[in-house]
Structure 1
Amino acid sequence: MSFRIRGLPAAPFEHLLPLSDAALKAQGIQRLIIREPDSAPCRISLQDAAVGERVLLLNHAHHASSSLYAASGPIFIRESARETFDAMNQVPRALRLRLLSVRAYAAHGDMVDADVCEGAQLETLISRFFQQADAQFLHVHHARRGCYACRIDRA
């Protein structure tokens, strides 16, 4: 079954990039310099930030819905990220490396199914969920930390 994985658009975060650390902190946002590889997956590019790269850590409403399942949580944004990951039937490396929690949602925003898988098995879970007629889109989270990763749609 065909699917489309998308990162977040860069535009809503661009106004944060020139802000000072103090101005970011006043909004509950942290600027960090990455010290370990594969430790800060960007939600725009769906790439891990490189060692020495600057990222923003902020709260994001990834499921802004009127349903009971509305949710927000912390995400990393690479300051250098300009292009949103948007690909058909391709799982980015940053997802392949991690244990994932995948949640299937109906069009109105209610969760209809959920499971956990290793990133290498993500396509199998996508296919299983999209065989359900009421599963209209998926949200992927990093299972260990619980952070939102990306959205997957039927294609």
Structure 2
Amino acid sequence: MPFRIKGLDPEPFQHLYGKSDAELADLHITRHAVEDYPAYPDRVSLTPIEIGGTALLLNYEHLPVDSPYRSRHAIYVQEGADTPYEAENTVPPLLTANPMALRGIDEVGCIEDADLVQGDAVQATIERMFQDERIAYIHAHFAARGCFAARIDRA
């Protein structure tokens, strides 16, 4: 089944770029100087933030639906990120290098299928989930911490 993965639109985060640490703290956001690689996954580019870069840790509502599964969690966005990842039928290395929880979500925002996968199994599981007509889209989460990674849609 053809699919599309797209990083988050940077526009909602751009007003945060360049704010002082105090201004960010007022918004419950923290700035992190990246000293380890690959420790900070940017949700816009879907790549690890390079050493020397800056990561903003913020709370993001990735499932804004009126269902019991409505959800928000902490994510990293690279300060200055402006170009979202986008590809069809290709899984970015960020999502294959880490254990991922894939959640198949229906039209009303309920989880209909879920699996823990890594490596080549990520793409195979996406394709398998989209064979189920109930699945409207898939959310990928980093399995260890549960943080939202990306949304996967039918192409």
Q: Same fold (TM over 0.5)?
A: yes
> Does 2:74 correspond to 1:74?
yes
RMSD: 0.8
Paired position in structure 1 for 2:6:
6
| Long gaps (5+) in structure 1 | none
CA distance in 1, matches of 2:53, 2:120: 26
**TM-score scaled to structure 1, two decimals?**
0.97
> What is the letter of the counterpart of residue 120 of structure 1?
D
Give runs of ≥4 in structure 1 deviating > 6 Å. Answer: none
Q: 1:29-55 CA distances to partner (integer Å, 9 max, x unpaired)? A: 000011111111100010100111101
SS at match of 1:59: strand
SS at match of 1:116: strand
CA distance in 2, matches of 1:83, 1:51: 19
> Does 2:51 correspond to 1:51?
yes
**TM-score scaled to structure 2, two decimals?**
0.97
SS at match of 1:65: coil
> Does 2:56 correspond to 1:61?
no
> What is the letter of the counterpart of residue 62 of structure 1?
H
> Does 2:121 correspond to 1:116?
no
Deviation at 1:108, TM superposition (A): 1.2
> What is the letter of the counterpart of residue 128 of structure 2?
R
- Residues 101 and 117 of structure 1 are in contact (CA less than 8 Å); yes or no, is this contact kept in structure 2? yes
Pairing of 1:1-155 with structure 2 (within 5 A): 1-155=1-155
Q: How many residues align?
A: 155
- Residues 136 and 154 of structure 1 are in contact (CA less than 8 Å); yes or no, is this contact kept in structure 2? yes
SS at match of 1:109: coil
CA distance in 1, matches of 2:64, 2:120: 28
Percentage of pairs with the same residue: 37
CA distance in 2, matches of 1:8, 1:120: 23
- Residues 100 and 119 of structure 1 are in contact (CA less than 8 Å); yes or no, is this contact kept in structure 2? no
CA distance in 2, matches of 1:110, 1:75: 22
CA distance in 2, matches of 1:79, 1:99: 25
> What is the letter of the counterpart of residue 144 of structure 1?
A
CA distance in 1, matches of 2:140, 2:49: 19
| Long gaps (5+) in structure 2 | none
